[in-house]
Amino acid sequence: MNINFDKITGKGRNESFMLIGMSTFSRFLARYLSERNFEVVAIDQSEDRIEKVKPFVTKGIIGDAKDASFLEKAGVKDVDAVIVSLGRKADDSLLIVYHLHELEVENIYVKVVAEDHAKILKKIGDCEIIFPEQESALRLAQRIDNPNILDYIPLTDSYSIIDWTPNEEFIGKTLGELNLKSEFGVQVISIEDAQKKVKLIPKASHYIKQGDVLVVIGENEHLEKLKEQK
């Protein structure tokens, strides 16, 4: 499962999270966050599901998140962000998100299962939509269409970051000689060599070697031109 965790943890001030609904997605996320020393509160109606995530969370609470008073008692106002993932229980997630807005929770993330689900959530109030199936499909499609593209991360509707393996014609040349910014309108922000050593913000004098992977940022239309260099 490909998940853009930067959406969730990249705002800097988010250090504590409440996960509502212990779906497979939530359990994976709980482990990820706990391994990075974030505080995690898990909520689910199932005692069995809470027991399974206890090793990865700060606190596990059994209860019904559709009850606004329960959410308040569980400390929903004390965390930096709330993530709702109830599998295919779209109706339940809509009610929970409504309560979260009523309780003035600012940072809300919701895993959705369909476009209509996302549209209704947006009508209720501002929240960040997580559509892992869609994001995974998009990344796979990019990799199938462009074998040189190892990963693809959409930043906005217009900008993305890609991991790109240079073709033979690029090997042995410096970044200055390639002048990717002028030729393609993209910027190289780091390079990982075959030994997994990473060079952040490489200089123009940096030589491209066999096995290098370039992390490139730019407008989508400019990245498309770079991808055509097969």
Q: Return the closest-CA partner of residue 220 out of 145, 159, 162, 163.
A: 159
User: Strand 81-84 vs strand 59-62: parallel, antiparallel, or unpaired?
Assistant: unpaired
pLDDT of residue 72: 94
Residue 170: pLDDT above 60?
yes
- The whole-model pTM stands at 0.55
* CATH placement of domain 6-131: 3.40.50.720
Residue percentage of the chain with pLDDT more than 70: 82
Residue range 138-155: average pLDDT? Answer: 49
CATH architecture of 146-227: 2-Layer Sandwich (3.30)
pLDDT of residue 35: 82
Residue 11: pLDDT above 50?
no
Residue range 118-133: average pLDDT? Answer: 77
Residue 20: pLDDT above 90?
yes
User: How far apart are the C-alpha atoms of 30 and 161, rounded to whole Å?
Assistant: 26
User: How far apart are the C-alpha atoms of 3 and 65, rounded to whole Å?
Assistant: 24
Average pLDDT, the chain: 81
pLDDT tens digits along 23-61? 888 888 888 888 888 899 999 999 999 999 999 899 999
User: How far apart are the C-alpha atoms of 85 and 75, rounded to whole Å?
Assistant: 18
Cβ contacts of 152-155, under 8 Å, gap ≥ 24: 153/4, 153/6, 154/4, 155/217
Residue 12: pLDDT above 70?
no
Counting beta carbons within 10 angstroms of the beta carbon of residue 46, is it exposed (0 to 12), middle (13 to 18) or buried (19 or more)? exposed
Sign (positive/negative) of CA torsion 157, 162, 166, 167? Answer: negative
Residue 73: pLDDT above 80?
yes
pLDDT of residue 155: 52
Residue 112: pLDDT above 60?
yes
